[in-house]
Amino acid sequence: MEGAKRTAFWIGMTFVIAAAPFLGMEAYTVQIFTLAGIYATVALGLSLVLGNAGQISLGQAAFFGIGAYVTAQLMLKVGLSFVVALAAGGCLAGVVGISLGYLALRFQGHYLAMVTLCFGLIMQIFFLQVPALTGGAAGITDIPSPQLFGSAVDNSPGSWCKTFHLAWFLFLGMAWFLSNLLSLQTGRALAALRDNPIAAESLGLNVSKHKVQAFAISAVLAGLAGGVYCVHTHYIGPEIFGVGASLEFLIMVVVGGLGRPMGAVAGALLLTVIPEFIRAYEEYRLLIFSMVLMAVVLVAPEGLWGLVTAVYRRIKSAFSRESETSE
C-alpha cells in the first residue's frame, strides 16, 4: 500500500471500531465480537511465528494464560491499575517467550511441535497446582473492570468505552506494529531466512535473533490479549488455557491465512462466531473446527483471506481487461 492509502486505512479502521458497538449491535453480539477481537490478537502473534518465521508453536494458550493471571492478580492483590497490570502481563509473557524462543532454536519441525506442546501442558499444570499465585482449580473470580475517567470499561449498554473497544484497539495497534515490521527489515529478513537460512546467515542476518524475536513478539501479543480477556470475562481458571485453546488458536491462523494480519481477524471471527450457532453440540466443538480446517486447507490452502485477495485480484484483472477491449 502507498503511504497515504495506508494512513487512510488505519484511520478508517479506528473509526469503524469506535463506532461499531453503537450501530445497533445487540449487547450479546458485542460480547461475542469482543472475544473475537481478543482471539484475533493471539492469532496475529501466532501468525507471525507460523507464517513469517516458519516455526510452529502449540503452546500459545500458555502465554495467553500468563498475561491473564498476571493482569488479574496485579489488579486484585497489588491494586495496580489495569493498564500497568496489563503491561506487566505482556512483559512477563514476552520474557517467557524469549526463553522458549531460545529453546526452540535447538529443535525443528515435529520436535519443536512437541517441545511447545509440552510447554503448554507444563504451564497449565502450573496454573492448576500453584494456588497461591493462580487460585488453583477454582481460578480467580471477581476480576474488576478497568476504570477510565471514573466510569467502568465494560460491555454494559450504558458505557461509552467498552471492553469491545479495548479488545479491538489492542488488535489494531498490534496489527499496525506488525505491518510496520513486516514492511521493513524484519519482514524481509524473515522471508529470507525461511527461503534459505544458509544464504541469509551468510549475508549477515542473525537467524537465531530473528527467530527469538518472532517468538517473543507472539508471546507479548498473547499475553496482552490474556490481560484483556480476564477483565472481559471477570473469571479465569486453568481449564481455559489448555492444549485445546492452543489448537484453536492454531486453527484460527491456518483457516484465516498464514502470515496475513487480516487472516487473523477472519480466522478469529469465524471460529468465535461458529460456536454460537452450535451451542447445542458443545462437545463436538473441536470436531467441527477440525472439519472447517480440513475444508479450508483443501479448498483454499492460503486461508480465507488468501481466498478473498485471490478473488479480488481476479475480478480486478477481469475489469481492467474489459476496459482495455472497450477502448
Residues forming contacts to another protein in the complex (CB under 8 A) are 177, 180-181, 184-186, 188-189, 191-192, 194-196, 198-207, 213
Kindly report the length of the chain: 327
Residue 194 or 285 with smaller CB distance to another protein: 194
Residue 53 or 62 with smaller CB distance to another protein: 53
**Taking the complex as a whole, how short is the minimal distance between the CB of residue 149 and another protein, in angstroms?**
26
Residue 121 or 191 with smaller CB distance to another protein: 191
* Cβ 126 vs Cβ 134: under 8 Å: yes
Contacts of 12 (CB under 8 A, 6+ apart): none
Residue 58 or 200 with smaller CB distance to another protein: 200
**Taking the complex as a whole, how short is the minimal distance between the CB of residue 184 and another protein, in angstroms?**
4
Contacts of 126 (CB under 8 A, 6+ apart): 134
**Taking the complex as a whole, how short is the minimal distance between the CB of residue 203 and another protein, in angstroms?**
4
Angle between helices 207-233 and 163-183 (to 10 degrees): 170
**Taking the complex as a whole, how short is the minimal distance between the CB of residue 225 and another protein, in angstroms?**
18
Query: Measured between alpha carbons, how far is 307 from 68 in angstroms, rounded to an integer?
Result: 34
> The C-alpha cell of 278 is what?
452450535
**Taking the complex as a whole, how short is the minimal distance between the CB of residue 181 and another protein, in angstroms?**
5
3-state secondary structure 187-239: HHHHHHHHHCHHHHHHCCCCHHHHHHHHHHHHHHHHHHHHHHHHHHHCCECHH
Residue 20 or 201 with smaller CB distance to another protein: 201
